[in-house]
């Protein structure tokens, strides 16, 4: 019983992180049909920004690093994706792949390829137990952050004018433009939110792995893809569901697979992506606007 | 095609001949260069094989595959299983089945087997994958790449896992790879002019219209996928010999990025684009590699810059995507025909509508 509960806690935690990753990717996909490979580099840059600012007082580090990530997200959109807005989705995918590679190697150039040990607020890794369940303080913090981020985002999307515009644009971009939604500001807004989500991930993720490296964004972004596809590309609820599903799956696989088979966890996840694409290409939650029209 | 006269047929071969001569000429020049340059040329030739191979599918179908490097991995490992001496394999790969364990084939046969294995693998993966369109196909092929990579890097008793596989013969040389590269060019050229290639190109331009005249897109894509995988598998086998030591990480995102960059920079939709892309990226890579080691420019002296090469490639790729989305060649074949004689009724021999 305790063991099951422990797994549930772990799954929720991992899932929360993946959900935020998937949400950051799904948000942009919904509007631009862009699968942003470079989303992982936002996570990476967030980590390095905290490393550079670490001398400053805590809240200032948080605020400034958030600004850095948002500025980078907006810069990506302005310089790389805006000129390609009319291009085919696969061109956009290649462009984001190139951008991700560019940013990674820029950081290799500046900081070297070797991982740098770093954890912002290392006191987060203290353990405590509630009735035989081991909980790391970091997990509580990351859970809280995840819930806050999800609630905040829901409020933003449902209650504010720009949020409603964003949802409209992700349902049907052309129709939304015809109704007077400003394309540039909505897309910029989406990138800013996506950047903020990446920043939260980078806060939690860099504390989890305890080090920074130029390639650290690749794993989360790839898992984020898996989650977005499972949940249904373009659907925000689907992205969150997909994230938690992948979290639950990876904890289950970790618990049930034998020690020899455990490294194949990733293979199972991707095989699942392949299956979902074949059997239910629209994912858990289908988005009607994505149906291809003739 | 049947209605084409002999003259027109010969003319339609000139771009292919031009490419072949370019390749043979370059190889001839490189052959008298120092070994360092030769090594660069051999690697470029292997990548040409990958890129031309990938082009057969990507260029003609318009479906961007991120999975072709997994065929390279299949080719490399199959060749390694068949070619490495049995004594070495017993030490490194205790889990190999008896048949593979005892095999001690000639390197050239290993290359062929690598290509065939890659084709067979592509056939089974392609059966479902060829149904997917556009971005789903890209992600599906990426999933294949990730699965293959996870399996090869963790199935330690058969692949050596995270460690590396050594004991490969040094068979990869200019003159052993060149015939394969030429064969790839010929097959790509013949395929894109054949009825199969034309059907697939039609489907690339307009799926619905192609279907309405009876093109079975799934079948055409599968055919291209299997042919394409063969050459990529062959390239993988050569790459294994070239490196001397195989590790699964050699066949993952980095290789995928470089080969896709070559295709995109040259132009996805023409064979000339595939060749030009490999040439451009190789030359640029070499220039940047020298810059990476450090340059002295009078008052400005730069130290060693690891990462500069990749940074330059990524920047070039982005610039091309934004300012010249059809690549350096603009999707046209090598401009030899037009210079002498403009064929009047040469339907299908040009990629442009």
State the pTM of this model: 0.87
Return left, alpha or beta for B334; rule: phi > 0 is left, psi -120 to 50 is alpha, else beta: beta
Q: How far is A266 from chain B (nearest CA, A)?
A: 6
Tell me if A254 is assigned to some domain.
no
| DSSP secondary structure code for residue A112 in this structure | -
Average pLDDT rounded to a whole number, residues A63-69: 94
A271 to B321: CB separation less than 8 angstroms, yes or no: no
Q: Which residues of A touch B (CB under 8 A)?
A: 33, 35, 80, 83-84, 87-91, 93-95, 97-99, 101-102, 104-109, 112-113, 218, 222, 225, 229, 233, 263-264, 266-267, 270-271, 273-274, 277-278, 281, 292, 294
Give a yes or no: residue A116 inside a domain: yes
What range defines the domain where residue A37 resides? 2-217
Q: Does B315 touch chain A (CB under 8 A)?
A: yes
B117 touches chain A (CB under 8 A): no
Contact check, Cβ <8 Å, B134/A102: no
| pLDDT value at residue A267 | 86
Interchain contact, A274 vs B260, CB within 8 Å: no
DSSP secondary structure letters along A136-204: EHHHHHHHHHHHHHHHHHHHHHHHSHHHHHHHHHHH-HHHHHHTT--HHHHHHHHHHHHHHHHHHHHHH
Identify the residue with better confidence: A293 or A278.
A278
Asked if A98 lies within 8 A of B140 by C-beta distance, the reply is no
Chain A nearest C-alpha distance from B314 (Å):
5
Contact assignment for A94 to B257 by CB distance below 8 Å:
no
Name the DSSP letter for residue A81: I
Query: Is residue A236 assigned to a domain?
Result: no
Q: What total number of domains does chain A contain?
A: 1
pLDDT tens for chain B, 353 residues: list them.
445 566 666 667 788 888 888 888 888 888 888 888 888 999 999 999 999 999 999 999 999 999 999 999 999 999 999 998 888 888 888 888 888 888 888 889 999 999 999 999 999 999 999 988 878 888 889 999 999 998 998 888 888 777 778 888 888 888 899 999 999 999 999 998 899 999 999 999 888 999 999 999 999 999 999 999 999 999 999 999 999 888 888 899 889 999 999 998 988 888 999 999 999 999 998 888 887 776 555 555 455 667 788 888 899 989 988 898 888 888 788 776 554 444 444 444 444 44
Q: Is CATH 1.10.3470 what the domain over B6-292+303-340 is classified as, yes or no?
A: yes
Asked, for residue A129, whether it belongs to a domain, the answer is yes
Is the distance from CB of A203 to CB of A120 less than 8 angstroms?
yes
**Domain locations in chain B?**
6-292+303-340
Beta carbons of B146 and A33 less than 8 Å apart: no
pLDDT of A130 reads 73
B139 → closest Cβ in A80, A107, A277: A277
**Which residue in chain B is spatially nearest to A82 when comparing CA positions?**
B322
| Strands A133-136, A127-130: pairing kind | antiparallel
């Amino acid at each position: 019983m305790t063991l099951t509960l422990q797994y549930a806690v772990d799954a929720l935690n991992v899932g929360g992180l993946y959900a935020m990753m998937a949400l950051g990717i799904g948000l942009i996909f919904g509007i631009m049909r862009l699968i942003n490979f470079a989303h992982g580099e936002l996570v990476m840059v967030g980590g390095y920004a905290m490393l550079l600012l670490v001398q400053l007082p805590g809240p200032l580090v948080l605020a400034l690093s958030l600004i850095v990530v948002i500025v980078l997200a907006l810069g990506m959109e302005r310089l790389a994706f805006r000129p390609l807005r009319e291009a085919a989705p696969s061109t956009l995918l290649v462009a984001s792949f190139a951008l991700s590679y560019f940013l990674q190697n820029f950081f290799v150039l500046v900081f070297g390829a070797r991982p740098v040990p770093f954890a912002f607020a290392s006191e987060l890794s203290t353990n405590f137990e509630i009735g035989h369940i081991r909980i790391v303080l970091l997990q509580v913090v990351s859970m809280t952050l995840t819930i806050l981020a999800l609630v905040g985002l829901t409020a933003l999307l449902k209650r504010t004018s720009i949020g409603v515009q964003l949802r409209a644009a992700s349902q049907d971009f052309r129709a939304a433009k015809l109704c007077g939604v400003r394309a540039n500001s909505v897309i910029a807004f989406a990138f800013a939110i996506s950047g903020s989500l990446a920043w939260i991930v980078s806060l939690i993720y860099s504390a989890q792995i305890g080090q920074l490296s130029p390639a650290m964004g690749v794993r989360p972004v790839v898992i984020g893809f898996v989650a977005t596809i499972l949940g249904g590309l373009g659907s925000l609820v689907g992205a969150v569901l997909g994230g938690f599903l992948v979290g639950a799956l990876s904890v289950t696989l970790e618990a049930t697979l034998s020690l020899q088979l455990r490294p194949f966890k990733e293979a199972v996840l991707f095989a699942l992506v392949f299956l979902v694409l074949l059997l239910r290409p629209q994912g858990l939650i289908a988005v009607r606007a994505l149906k291809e029209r003739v | 095609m049947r209605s084409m006269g002999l003259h027109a047929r010969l003319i339609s071969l000139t771009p292919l001949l031009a490419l072949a001569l370019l390749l043979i000429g370059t190889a001839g020049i490189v052959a008298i260069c120092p070994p360092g340059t030769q090594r660069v040329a051999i690697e470029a030739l292997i990548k040409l094989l990958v890129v031309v191979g990938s082009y057969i599918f990507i260029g003609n179908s318009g479906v961007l595959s991120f999975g072709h490097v997994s065929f390279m991995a299949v080719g490399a490992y199959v060749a390694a299983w068949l070619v490495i001496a049995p004594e070495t394999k017993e030490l490194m790969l205790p889990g190999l089945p008896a048949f593979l364990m005892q095999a001690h084939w000639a390197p050239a046969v290993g290359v062929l087997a690598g290509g065939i294995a890659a084709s067979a693998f592509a056939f089974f993966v392609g059966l479902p994958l060829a149904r997917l369109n556009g971005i789903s196909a890209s992600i599906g092929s990426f999933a294949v790449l990730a699965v293959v990579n996870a399996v090869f890097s963790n199935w330690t008793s058969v692949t050596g896992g995270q460690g590396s596989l050594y004991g490969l013969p040094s068979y990869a040389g200019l003159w052993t790879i060149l015939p394969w590269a030429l064969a790839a060019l010929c097959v790509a050229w013949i395929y894109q002019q054949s009825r199969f290639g034309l059907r697939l190109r039609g489907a690339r331009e307009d799926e619905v219209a192609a279907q309405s005249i009876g093109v079975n897109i799934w079948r055409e894509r599968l055919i291209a996928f299997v042919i394409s995988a063969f050459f990529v598998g062959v390239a993988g086998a050569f790459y294994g010999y070239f490196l001397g030591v195989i590790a699964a990480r050699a066949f993952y995102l980095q290789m995928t990025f470089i080969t896709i960059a070559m295709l995109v920079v040259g132009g996805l939709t023409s064979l000339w684009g595939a060749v030009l892309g490999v040439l451009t990226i190789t030359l640029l890579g070499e220039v940047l590699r020298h810059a990476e080691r450090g340059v002295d420019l009078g008052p400005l002296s730069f130290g060693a810059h690891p990462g500069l090469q990749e940074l330059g490639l990524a920047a070039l790729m982005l610039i091309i995507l934004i300012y010249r989305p059809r690549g350096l060649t603009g999707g046209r074949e090598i401009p030899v025909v037009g210079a002498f004689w403009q064929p009047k009724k040469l339907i299908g021999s040009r990629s442009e509508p």
